[in-house]
Amino acid sequence: MPWYKRLMGIDRRILYIILAIGISFPMFSPMGLPIPADVATQATWDFISNLPAGSNVLYSFDLSASGLTELKPTALVLARRSFELGHNVFIMALWAEGNNLGAIWIDPIAAEYNAVYGVNYIKLGFMVNPQAFLEQSRTDLYGACSGGIDANGDPLSSFPMMKNVTKAKDFDVVMSYNTGDPGPTIWIQQWYATENIPQLSSCTAVSTPTMENYFQAGLLKGNVGGLAGAAYIEKLSGQLGTATGGMDSQSMGHVIIILFLILGNIGYFAARKAGAVK
């Protein structure tokens, strides 16, 4: 078999092994590569940092477990920032998985900053019907939140921090950690377009082009895109974590994929020259 056919027909398992080795190598021997700056991520950090104490910040975990690597670092950094600055932190989810993940990630940070549940930290829970929640909460937040209860089933009216938060407009910003739909699009359509509530987003890398589009149009005030965005926000906060650690692996992965592109095309052009392909 000619060498170019063998090159073009390499068993994919070999490709997977090369990728696996390349990605895992930096985990054992970090390369310490610089983190690229990102305007949208900077805008997110600045927006949260400029909110005064007592601001009502809503973090919506519209994600599944697939967002663990890219979104958890941002969630931890911004939660810490909010508690440091004295914001009132509200967490909720439009995805069922996001409800559990949000609580698992943020509860320890709330405890770390001695946040008092119901005074400066509350979990609104999972909203089964996102469209209904976003529509109804514009005028009646309590009614929209499963009939006026928090994630633990306690009445919202019993919590001090909910006294002045009865509708969407009472929030100063919404941050959506998202891995798909429902996500920032529905928040923008319902809360930004009608109530002008500022929206922020933290998304996986594949959604970053779409979110960058919204950011450029001013529909999002900031976006933390993928692992690179998460690493940059860790750098801005001074708390380097898993995102920073993952950037070396991501770089290796991208370099290997580019090498695959080059190899595949070498085989293709050789085959074309030999008349084996058109």
Partner 1 sequence: MTPFIQNIADSIKPFFSGWLYSNGNLGLTCTVFLIIYVAALLLMVKQARAGGTIPKVRRIAGLDAVDEVVGRATEMGRPVLYSPGIGDLTSADTLASFNVLGHVAKLIAKYDARMIVCNRTPSVQPITESVVRAAYFEVGKPDAYREEDVRFLTNDQFGYAAGVVGIMNREGVAALVLVGLFYAESLIFAEAGNQAGAIQVAATSSTSQTPFFIVACDYCLIGEEIYVAGAYLGQDRVRLATIVVQDWGKQFTLIVIVLGVLAATIGSFTGVKTNVIIDLLKLY
Partner 2 sequence: MRRTLPMIITLVTGLIVIFNDIFISPAFNTLVQTYLIRSQTLSIATAYALGGMSLMRVHGHRIARKRDGWMNSVVLIAGFALLMVLGVTLPGGHNSVTYNWFYQNTAVAGGATVFSLLCFYIGSAAYRAFRARSLEATALLLSACFVMLGGTSIGSAISPALPQIKVWIMSYFNTPVIRAVSLGVSLGAFAQGARNLFGIERGYMAE
DSSP state of 207: G
Residue with tokens 């359509």: 189
Which is nearest to 226 in space by CA: 211, 205, 242? 205
Selected from 60, 207, 223, 249, the binder of partner 1 by CB under 8 A is 207
CB of residue 85 vs partner 2: minimum separation in angstroms? Answer: 27
Query: Which class for 61: exposed (0-12), middle (13-18), buried (19 or more C-beta within 10 A)?
Result: buried
Q: What number of chain residues touch partner 2 (CB under 8 A)?
A: 64
- Edge to edge, the sheet with strand 199-203 lists 121-126, 88-93, 56-62, 173-178, 199-203, 222-225
Phi, psi (degrees; rounded to nearest 5) at 199: -120, 140
CB of residue 10 vs partner 2: minimum separation in angstroms? Answer: 7
DSSP state of 117: B
265 binds partner 1 (CB under 8 A): no
129 binds partner 2 (CB under 8 A): yes
**Residues lying near partner 1 in the complex (CB under 8 A):** 12, 64-66, 96-97, 131, 179-181, 193-194, 196, 204, 206-207, 209-210
**Residues lying near partner 2 in the complex (CB under 8 A):** 10, 12, 15-16, 19-20, 23, 31, 33-37, 39, 64-66, 68-69, 97, 99-101, 103-104, 128-129, 131-132, 135-136, 139-140, 143, 151-152, 194, 205, 209-210, 212-213, 216, 226, 228, 231, 247-248, 250-258, 260-261, 263-265, 268-269
